[in-house]
Amino acid sequence: MLKNSRFFDLLRIPGFKPLAGATLMLGVAMSFTAPYLSLFGIERAGMTPFRLGLFMTLIAASGVLASTLAGRWSDASGRHRPLLLASLGAATLGYLCLCVVRDYRLLLVVGVLFIGAGSSAISLVFSFSRAALPVADDAGRAFASASLRTILSAAWVFGPAVGALVLAGTGFYGLFLFAAASFAACAAIVSRTKEPSGHLGDHTVADTASEPASSITVPPLKAPGDDAHEAGIAAASANDIWRAVVALTLIGLAANATMIVLPLYIVHGLNGSRLDVSIMLGLGALSEIPMMLALGARSSTLHKPTWLAACAAVHAVYFVAMALAGNVDVLIPMQLLNAFVVAVTSCLGMTYVQDLMPASPGKATALFFNAARLGSILSGVLSGVLVGTFGYRGTFVFCGLLALGALVLFAVPGYRYPQMARAIRGYVERKLIARRAPEQ
């Protein structure tokens, strides 16, 4: 366990406190807007579920593209602050535009050029902090980065609730204006933070994870070496690796779809309030942090496939409960199940993929984050189509089926699939033969 002195040592690092403040402002801005963007699309912009899904998908795709290009440019040039300031400026302009723009085609332009591009600030702020903080050793850099991510996640504990109060008092105009001011405040802090001319450490994929606000995760606070590979694990087959990646993609797809649909379901499906939305998101974020810390402290001793399979099973139970819920009060404690899913996937998912590819940790990390990115891109259109076709409850049932698919992929060993396929084929053939026998 880490000693409290390590936290106080961080405060003495030049530049850490301003970067912590910038990260907090960024987290506040994202937690203000992400829970209510789908409500804005339906209630103020008059979008259909499909149009809303397309809008959210294009924002996610733009964010992934912007993060990828920004990461490559900053890696090549060794400069992170210019692109970080540009992304924060884009986010500021984007949410200022949402204060007045209601035409769908213009909203698509604003979403792609400004809001999506601005979402790359999440990854850029961590790559900037890695370069800007004068920490010479790997352990110090990892701990500083993990601490900043904890601050980012902590913003989600109170951000949605404050956002609901702002929304109730001033409407979407005041909400987006406050979010734009938060992005601008973050940019002001970053502009006053110096960046050295060269790198202080290797830049890794994990530092530039461009996760959407709905999927912000906080790695456990621990020093390098605590993630050592479990004894006896050798490189897995390609099928084992891709099975794990597909399972993580299914979980990410269901989680991101939930982030879009949940506020609409609460407000329009169950006649709840926006404050109910904030309570659920805040409770989930608050519950995730101790779960992550507990899992992080024991991650090297846990059997990751079993935990990930249990995580998928819990996710399926969560979605079934959401679909069957008769009122909002039932949904609030269910967010503890969702918090468990986020904690397990964020703490154990990446290290599990790395364990499957012990000789290629960088490629394994990229696969893990690309699975989450793919889930965020697909979730927009998919959720729009599902809500328009099956309604809110049907959408949660479908997400539960995705979670069950992930459970099978995690729980069933690779050599079982040919056996299962043969058994199913044999069963179908016997049924066909039995059906044809009376006809003959």
Instruction: Report CA dihedral (105, 170, 48, 252) to the nearest 10 degrees.
Output: 100
The closest alpha carbon to 244, from 364, 362, 339, belongs to 364
Find out whether 294 and 348 touch, Cβ atoms under 8 Å.
Answer: no
pLDDT of residue 439: 58
The closest alpha carbon to 157, from 276, 287, 70, belongs to 287
For residue 235, name the pLDDT band (cuts at 50, 70, 90).
low
The closest alpha carbon to 284, from 331, 219, 325, 327, belongs to 331
The DSSP letter of residue 231 is T
Mean pLDDT across 294-313: 85
Q: How do residues 357-393 score in pLDDT, each as one tens digit?
A: 877 765 676 677 778 778 888 888 888 899 989 999 9
pLDDT surpassing 90 at residue 300: no
The DSSP letter of residue 262 is H
- Backbone angles phi and psi of 387, in degrees to 5: -65, -40
Distances (CA, A) of 29 to 40, 55, 95: 16, 19, 10
**Rg, C-alpha atoms of the chain:** 22
CA angle 324, 164, 258 (to 5 degrees): 35
Domains of the chain from N-terminus onward? 10-216 (1.20.1250.20), 229-440 (1.20.1250.20)
CA diameter of the chain = 87
CA angle 294, 300, 303 (to 5 degrees): 90
Structure tokens at 155: 């913003």
pLDDT surpassing 70 at residue 283: yes
For residue 113, name the pLDDT band (cuts at 50, 70, 90).
very high
Residue 439 has a CB neighbour count (10 Å cut-off) of 5
For residue 250, name the pLDDT band (cuts at 50, 70, 90).
very high
Residue 106 has a CB neighbour count (10 Å cut-off) of 13
Find out whether 118 and 183 touch, Cβ atoms under 8 Å.
Answer: yes
Distances (CA, A) of 77 to 80, 81, 98, 235: 8, 11, 33, 34
Mean pLDDT across 275-280: 84
Q: How do residues 139-197 score in pLDDT, each as one tens digit?
A: 566 666 667 777 877 887 778 878 888 888 899 999 999 999 999 999 999 888 776 55
**Mean predicted lDDT score pLDDT of the chain:** 80
CA distance linking residue 124 with residue 203, whole number of Å: 11
pLDDT surpassing 50 at residue 215: no
The closest alpha carbon to 380, from 116, 50, 46, belongs to 50
Find out whether 312 and 321 touch, Cβ atoms under 8 Å.
Answer: no
CA distance linking residue 220 with residue 293, whole number of Å: 5
Half-sphere exposure of 408 (CA within 13 A, CB side): 9
CA distance linking residue 24 with residue 18, whole number of Å: 10
Q: How do residues 38-94 score in pLDDT, each as one tens digit?
A: 999 998 999 998 999 999 999 988 988 888 788 778 767 777 788 899 999 999 999
Residues in Cβ contact with 423 at an 8 Å cutoff, skipping those fewer than 6 apart: none
Residue 4 vs residue 13, higher pLDDT: 13
CA angle 250, 382, 396 (to 5 degrees): 70
For residue 212, name the pLDDT band (cuts at 50, 70, 90).
very low
CA angle 357, 362, 365 (to 5 degrees): 75
Dihedral sign computed on CA atoms, order 412, 416, 421, 424: negative
Q: What percent of the chain has pLDDT over 90?
A: 28
Distances (CA, A) of 316 to 285, 323, 398: 20, 11, 10
Amino acid of residue 302: L
**Exposure pattern of 167-204 as b/e (b: 16+ CB <10 Å)?**
beeeebeebbbbbbebbbbbbebbeebebeeeeebebb
Find out whether 111 and 94 touch, Cβ atoms under 8 Å.
Answer: yes
Find out whether 331 and 378 touch, Cβ atoms under 8 Å.
Answer: no
Residues in Cβ contact with 413 at an 8 Å cutoff, skipping those fewer than 6 apart: none
When mean pLDDT is compared over 164-173, 234-243, 352-361, the highest value belongs to 164-173
Range list of H helices, 48-137: 49-77, 81-98, 104-110, 117-118, 121-132
Find out whether 379 and 256 touch, Cβ atoms under 8 Å.
Answer: yes
Whole-model pTM: value is 0.72
